Amino acid sequence: MKTILLPASILLTSLAASPAFALQDEAPEISRSPETATLPDTGVRLPMAIGRARPIPIIQAKIAGQGPFNLYLDLGASVCTLDQAFADRLGLEDVGTLEIGAPGSDHRLEARRRPMPLLEIGDARFEDFEVVSFDRSSFTGSDEIVGSVGPPLFAELLLTLDYPNSEIWIRRGALPEPDGETVIGYDASWRLPLLEIELAGNKITSAVDSGSPSFLVLPGNLPETLRFQQEPQVVGRARTVNGEFEVKAATVDGDLRVGGHSIPEPDVILLEAFPFAVLGHGFLRDFSITLDQLNHRLRFTRGADHAGRLNALAGDWRVEVTMNSGSAPATQFAGEATVHAVHDGKFLQEDIRLNAGGRELEATTFLGWNPDRNRYELTQLDVFNPGGGVVWMTGTWDEEQQRIRFEPALADSPPMRWDYLFDGQAGFTRQLHLWRGEEWQLQSEYRYLPQDSSENK
């Protein structure tokens, strides 16, 4: 039986897909999608950050010619939104009121209709549509978010949220016919995509919501045949824009299947008020998801094997070091390193000991994959240099070069790069590059070899 570990953010779930930002049935119809959308033939690729306050994708956009500003990219938002005070500061016209609400709550939140003349995401231009503004102050946190964009903005385009590579891709085109494995057809009768998932052999209707931090939220109308490993337990309360709900948690006695992708015995959240399930960030973060609204299709492509890459670093190593120092001859020395898993396998700890011409050097490094931030993270307790110090870096995977590249996480750090190279041979290589003059220069190279190996073998 699993122990359920719940993120603190579940108590502040946006739950927009369910839909927190849905207009009420009696609300006047608004122009959710742009009259025109223009972009280069190759589309637009842009970085996608993950929020610190809440694990929701963040993009930057210019709004009515001003900015850029931070916006949530929320697949669960049935309308684009802005903060009320921010929309007032931009001088966006106010053309009337409407109400938004959430399932399970009779409370209605008053919002304002705002014509949007132009919104720019990179080289993609979206013109002439309406947004909804309301007081978002309790949902902004530390990420300086001024609003959110959702599927209606990309109604005639393909939208890809590539979590493993921290990238979005907006382009024209169409997904292939559904194959039930990676490409799945969805029900478009609701304003948001609803697809059929399988949970412990039971068919369940689910939305896909990048605005929810949870792995999977289950509704109240569950099949009687669905079994849990233990009775669901109350763990707190979740909040939407207009109400709070009791939150229960449990572990499913069976597997989750989304198309051809299977996850054993998932930990889930239960919210009785919800009419359908919600696949959130906890599930999506391992995938590249493409939404094709014209053809009502979703594609799920599983991302990189981060655990496998990190596990390739584990072991007892003989280390051969080459140090470069400008025009002087390179210095070579050797040592040993032990790399092993710590904290239930979430991180690796490397302890390295080197003998540089009679001088004993040592350092301890922790590195791992942060799924909430979609990046590798590295911290080194460095005693190689006088006085020692702490190095904090974040990394991304380069598929073409087969390497993890780490760069300083702090803006005031000296420019450097650490590359972990996987060349298909036994062991791996770590390189340190420093910015000197007008180019990157290789400062040092560490070759990690099995203890019983030799380059001559």
Encode pLDDT of 181-193 as tens digits.
999 999 988 777 8
In this structure, are 142 and 259 located in the same domain?
A: no
**Is the per-residue pLDDT at 177 higher than 90?**
yes
Query: Which ranges of 101-180 would DSSP assign to H, the alpha helix?
Result: 137-140
**Is the per-residue pLDDT at 312 higher than 60?**
yes
Q: What's the whole-number mean pLDDT along residues 322-326?
A: 85
Among the ranges given (9-13, 138-142, 415-419), the one the predictor scored with the smallest mean pLDDT: 9-13
In this structure, are 64 and 129 located in the same domain?
A: yes
Per the model's pLDDT, the better-predicted residue between 296 and 32 turns out to be 296
Q: Kindly report, residue by residue over 208-224, the tens digit of the pLDDT.
A: 999 888 899 998 888 88
Residue 8 dihedral angles phi and psi, to the nearest 5°:
-60, -25
**Is the per-residue pLDDT at 159 higher than 50?**
yes
Among the ranges given (5-14, 75-84, 246-255, 305-314), the one the predictor scored with the smallest mean pLDDT: 5-14
Residue 332 and residue 182: Cα distance in Å, rounded?
50
Residue 154 is predicted with a pLDDT of 96
Residue 186 is predicted with a pLDDT of 94
Q: Give CA separation, 425 vs 48, 316, 422, 428, in Å.
A: 33, 16, 8, 7
Among the ranges given (9-13, 55-59, 311-315), the one the predictor scored with the smallest mean pLDDT: 9-13
In this structure, are 379 and 312 located in the same domain?
A: yes
Residue 11 is predicted with a pLDDT of 30
Neighbours of 107 (CB within 10 A): 12
Query: 169: helix, coil or strand?
Result: strand
Residue 456 lies inside a defined structural domain of this protein: no
**Is the per-residue pLDDT at 3 higher than 50?**
no
Of 139, 171, 203, the last residue of a domain is 171
Q: Kindly report, residue by residue over 256-288, the tens digit of the pLDDT.
A: 999 999 999 999 999 887 888 999 999 998 899
Q: Which residues, in sequence order, are bridge partners of residue 333?
A: 321
Classify residue 442 by its DSSP letter. E
Query: 410: helix, coil or strand?
Result: coil
Among the ranges given (40-44, 125-129, 274-278), the one the predictor scored with the smallest mean pLDDT: 274-278
In this structure, are 88 and 151 located in the same domain?
A: yes
Residue 150 and residue 444: Cα distance in Å, rounded?
46
Residue 10 lies inside a defined structural domain of this protein: no
Residue 217 is predicted with a pLDDT of 92
Please report the beta strands in 343-402, taking only residues with DSSP state E, as ranges in sequence order: 347-356, 359-370, 375-382, 389-398
Residue 169 is predicted with a pLDDT of 93
> At 105, is the pLDDT very low, low, confident or very high (cuts 50, 70, 90)?
low
In this structure, are 319 and 433 located in the same domain?
A: yes
**Is the per-residue pLDDT at 23 higher than 70?**
no
Smallest Cα–Cα separation from 134: which of 98, 110, 163?
A: 110
Residue 13 is predicted with a pLDDT of 33
Largest CA distance in the chain: 80
Residue 1 lies inside a defined structural domain of this protein: no
Residue 346 dihedral angles phi and psi, to the nearest 5°:
-75, -25
Of 171, 199, 221, the last residue of a domain is 171
In this structure, are 45 and 111 located in the same domain?
A: yes
Do 168 and 95 contact (CB within 8 A), yes or no? no
In this structure, are 407 and 264 located in the same domain?
A: no
Which residue's entry shows tokens 């478009």?
Answer: 188
Q: Kindly report, residue by residue over 412-430, the tens digit of the pLDDT.
A: 888 899 999 987 667 899 9
| Element spanning 284, H or E | helix 281-284
The enclosing domain of 128 has a CATH number of 2.40.70.10
Residue 110 and residue 220: Cα distance in Å, rounded?
27
Residue 27 is predicted with a pLDDT of 46
**Is the per-residue pLDDT at 384 higher than 50?**
yes
> At 400, is the pLDDT very low, low, confident or very high (cuts 50, 70, 90)?
confident
Residue 127 lies inside a defined structural domain of this protein: yes
Residue 161 is predicted with a pLDDT of 94
What type of residue sits at position 457?
K
Residue 143 is predicted with a pLDDT of 63
Residue 189 lies inside a defined structural domain of this protein: yes
How crowded is the C-beta side of 114, counted as CA atoms within 13 Å?
28
In this structure, are 318 and 436 located in the same domain?
A: yes
Mean residue pLDDT across the chain: 84
Smallest Cα–Cα separation from 257: which of 209, 179, 204?
A: 204
**Percentage of residues of the chain with pLDDT beyond 90:** 51
Q: What's the whole-number mean pLDDT along residues 131-155?
A: 83
In this structure, are 22 and 163 located in the same domain?
A: yes
Residue 10 is predicted with a pLDDT of 32
Per the model's pLDDT, the better-predicted residue between 387 and 41 turns out to be 41
Residue 5 lies inside a defined structural domain of this protein: no
Question: Into how many domains does the chain fold?
Answer: 3
Classify residue 454 by its DSSP letter. -
> At 387, is the pLDDT very low, low, confident or very high (cuts 50, 70, 90)?
low
Among the ranges given (137-151, 276-290, 298-312), the one the predictor scored with the smallest mean pLDDT: 137-151
How crowded is the C-beta side of 413, counted as CA atoms within 13 Å?
16
Among the ranges given (129-138, 236-245, 276-285, 411-420), the one the predictor scored with the smallest mean pLDDT: 236-245
Neighbours of 330 (CB within 10 A): 12
Q: What is the Cα Rg of the chain in Å?
A: 25
Residue 143 lies inside a defined structural domain of this protein: yes
Q: What's the whole-number mean pLDDT along residues 249-259?
A: 94
Residue 192 lies inside a defined structural domain of this protein: yes
Give me 395's structure tokens. 């990394």
In this structure, are 189 and 157 located in the same domain?
A: no
Q: Which domain holds residue 45?
A: 16-171
Of 268, 303, 338, the last residue of a domain is 303
Q: What's the whole-number mean pLDDT along residues 77-90?
A: 92
**Is the per-residue pLDDT at 60 higher than 80?**
yes
In this structure, are 278 and 380 located in the same domain?
A: no
Residue 6 is predicted with a pLDDT of 29
The enclosing domain of 439 has a CATH number of 2.40.128.20
Query: 351: helix, coil or strand?
Result: strand
Smallest Cα–Cα separation from 216: which of 166, 256, 262, 162?
A: 256
Residue 39 is predicted with a pLDDT of 95
Give me 126's structure tokens. 């979206």
Residue 353 is predicted with a pLDDT of 93
Q: What pTM was computed for the model?
A: 0.67
Among the ranges given (94-108, 257-271, 284-298), the one the predictor scored with the smallest mean pLDDT: 94-108
Residue 15 and residue 5: Cα distance in Å, rounded?
19
Give me 150's structure tokens. 């959702």
Residue 212 and residue 215: Cα distance in Å, rounded?
8
In this structure, are 235 and 311 located in the same domain?
A: no
